[in-house]
């Protein structure tokens, strides 16, 4: 019996919300004060019918007219409104994302007042957000700029935006839906790595003699400037050429001669293996950070995953990493795809696929399970500082 009553109450709540939603979006929905005035009007009309007193008819008629006029004005207040969005600049996790739009009153005579803007965003961007407009004169634009801290990587697309009003007297609520497409891209955080032993030794073929000779050659070339370029996020301060920066009015960074020119490396996120959300986010952050570090050291670096295929270029790789999803549903072509036959930095949760990687490859694992093979790998501890681990970790 109790379960039956709960079901009835739940059904009535849903019916009430559905009716209110339909009234508010297609016509008007009475507010609490509107219901009070409506009940009083009906009471006056009933009293006038029973007593045949003229002034009661007059009061009930005036209140009904007031209700009708305010309801019509509430719906009319939502007409002739034009909404445009500005493009949203991509940001990285931890940066502030700026979402801006503009509301324009296209009517040449009517003033708009007491408007509420409701932007239905993804919860990662703050969720549903509200903004109030006091008055909007004919032909006037009202800008709305909202800033949110980007907390999670991803590509977010939405288009639903509501405008509500209770004007002019607050007796009725009305709202209209506007489809205004928006797209926000949040890149993974790029950690400023000053060095990364994993990528520096990648492709050495595990030959200690060759690796030692290459490292000695690199040490001998240290400090030899090949060219100057603009400053990029994560560049070490020691490489800034202060004299040229002062002369040109912008930071210029020395590019040093290295032995990495011509070396090809591909960073791979094994998205075909099962992941937990937090380690997957760390893997995306690691891939972006190592990619930018490898680019600065003149490696021919690219990125590969089953979802994106092989991509290269700073912006393209960042967008590919932003679009990656944890535990995706892959089609047959994506499941059968293979990375290029070059040394790989293989980011995964499991070491089962490491023995089949090309020679010179290294695994970067987010797993505390015992090793099942002797393939080169570095294990990441999710509870420790990721940047410190990437700058100090070496394959055993």
* Residues 235-244 pLDDT 10s: 777 788 888 8
pLDDT of residue 221: 47
Segment (H or E) for 365: strand 362-365
Q: Residue 148 pairs with which residues in a beta bridge? A: 97
pLDDT at 238: 77
Instruction: Give dist(CA 237, CA 231) in Å, integer.
Output: 10
SS (H, E, C) 31-67: CHHHHHHHHHHHHHHHHHHHHCCHHHHHHHHHHHHHH
Task: Answer yes or no: is pLDDT of 113 > 50.
Answer: yes
Q: What is the DSSP letter of 378?
A: E
- pLDDT at position 211: 45
Contact 225, 129 (CB under 8 A): no
CB-hemisphere CA count at 13 Å for 336?
3
CB 303 within 8 A of CB 342: no
| Residue-level length of the chain | 396
Res. 218: pLDDT tops 60: no
How far apart, in whole angstroms, are the C-alpha atoms of residue 6 and residue 311? Answer: 55
Residue 222: pLDDT above 50? no
pLDDT for residue 327: 86
**Residue 166 — very low, low, confident or very high, per pLDDT cuts 50/70/90?**
very high
Structure tokens at 247: 């002369």
Q: What is the pLDDT of residues 117-129, one digit of tens each?
A: 999 999 889 889 9
- Please provide the DSSP assignment of 126-195 as one string: TSSEEEEEEEE-TT-EEEEEEEEE--S-EEEEEEEEEEEE-TTTSSEEEEEEEEEEEEEEEEPP----S-
Task: State the pairing for strand pair 112-119/96-105.
Answer: unpaired
Strand partners, 264: 300
The H or E element that residue 256 is part of is strand 252-256
User: pLDDT-based confidence at 214, cuts 50/70/90?
Assistant: very low
pTM beyond 0.85, yes or no? no
- Nearest alpha-carbon partner for 395 in 378, 379, 373, 375: 378
pLDDT for residue 210 is more than 50: no
Answer whether 196's CB lies under 8 Å from 395's CB: no
Tell me: pLDDT of 215 over 70. Answer: no
Q: What is the pLDDT of residue 37?
A: 94
pLDDT 10s digits, 369-379: 777 777 788 99
d(CA 34, CA 20): 13
For β-strands 264-269 and 300-305, DSSP reports them as: parallel
- Mean predicted confidence (pLDDT) in 63-92: 94
Is the model more confident about 215 or about 316?
316
Beta bridge partners of 228: 254
How far is it, in rounded angstroms, from Cα 265 to Cα 342? 6
Q: pLDDT-based confidence at 203, cuts 50/70/90?
A: low
How confident is the model over 54-80, as a mean pLDDT?
93
Determine the Cα–Cα distance for residues 98 and 377; give it in Å rounded to an integer: 40
Percent of all residues in the chain with a pLDDT value above 70, rounded to a whole number: 91
In tens, the pLDDT along 232-278 reads: 776 777 788 888 888 888 888 877 655 445 578 999 999 988 899 99
Across the chain, mean pLDDT equals 87
Can you count the helices (H) and strands (E) in the chain?
10, 17
Sign of the alpha-carbon torsion through 133, 139, 145, 146? positive
Token pair for 291: 């990619």
d(CA 64, CA 41): 6
132 vs 1: CA distance, rounded Å: 46
What are the sequence ranges of the domains in the chain?
Answer: 81-187, 197-203+263-392
Q: Can you tell me the mean pLDDT for 286-296?
A: 93
- % the chain with pLDDT above 90: 59
3-state secondary structure of 9: helix
Residues 173, 74: Cα–Cα separation, whole Å: 7
Q: What does the pLDDT average to over 288-311?
A: 92
Higher pLDDT, 30 or 298: 30
Residue 209: is its pLDDT beyond 60?
no
320-344 in b/e form (b: 16+ CB < 10 A) is: bbbebeeeeeeeeebeebebeebbb
What homologous superfamily is domain 81-187 in, according to CATH? Immunoglobulins (2.60.40.10)
Coil, strand, or helix at residue 294?
A: helix
- pLDDT, tens only, 20-56: 889 999 999 999 999 999 999 999 999 999 888 889 9
Query: Which of 1-5, 95-99, 124-128 has the weakest average pLDDT?
Result: 1-5
Count of CB atoms situated within 10 Å of the CB of 13: 10
The alpha carbon dihedral of 255, 259, 262, 268 has a sign of negative
């Amino acid at each position: 019996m109790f379960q039956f009553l709960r079901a009835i109450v739940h059904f009535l709540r849903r019916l009430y919300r559905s009716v209110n939603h339909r009234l508010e979006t297609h016509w008007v929905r009475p507010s609490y004060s509107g219901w009070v005035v409506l009940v009083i009007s009906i009471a006056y009309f009933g009293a006038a019918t029973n007593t045949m007193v003229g002034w009661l008819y007059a009061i009930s008629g005036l209140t009904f007219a007031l209700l009708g006029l305010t309801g019509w004005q509430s719906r009319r207040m939502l007409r002739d409104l034009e909404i445009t969005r500005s493009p949203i600049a991509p940001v990285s996790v931890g940066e502030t994302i700026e979402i801006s739009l503009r509301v324009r009153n296209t009517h040449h005579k009517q003033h708009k007042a007491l408007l509420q803007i409701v932007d239905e965003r993804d919860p990662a961007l703050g969720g549903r957000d509200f903004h109030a407009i006091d008055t909007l004169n004919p032909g006037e634009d009202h800008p709305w700029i909202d800033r949110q801290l980007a907390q999670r990587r991803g590509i977010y697309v939405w288009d639903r935006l509501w405008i509500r009003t209770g004007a002019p007297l607050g007796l009725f609520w009305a709202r209209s839906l506007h489809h205004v497409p928006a797209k926000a891209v949040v890149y993974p955080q790029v950690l400023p790595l000053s060095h990364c032993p994993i990528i520096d030794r990648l492709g050495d073929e595990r030959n200690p003699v060759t690796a030692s000779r290459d490292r000695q050659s690199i040490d001998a070339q240290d400090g030899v400037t090949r060219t100057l370029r603009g400053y990029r996020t994560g560049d070490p301060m020691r490489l800034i050429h202060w004299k040229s920066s002062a002369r040109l009015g912008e930071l210029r960074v020395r590019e040093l001669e290295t032995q990495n020119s011509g070396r090809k490396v591909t960073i791979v996120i094994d998205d075909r293996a099962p992941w937990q959300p937090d380690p997957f986010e760390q893997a995306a952050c690691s891939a972006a950070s190592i990619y930018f570090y490898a680019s600065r050291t003149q490696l021919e670096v690219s990125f590969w995953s089953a979802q994106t295929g092989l991509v290269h270029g700073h912006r393209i790789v960042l967008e590919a990493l932003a679009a990656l999803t944890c535990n995706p549903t892959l089609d047959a072509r994506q499941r059968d795809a293979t990375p290029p036959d070059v040394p790989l930095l293989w980011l995964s949760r499991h070491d089962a696929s490491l023995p089949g990687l090309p020679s010179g490859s290294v695994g970067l694992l987010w797993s505390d399970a015992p090793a099942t093979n002797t393939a080169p790998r570095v294990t990441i501890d999710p509870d420790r500082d990721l940047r410190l681990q990437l700058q100090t970790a070496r394959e055993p």
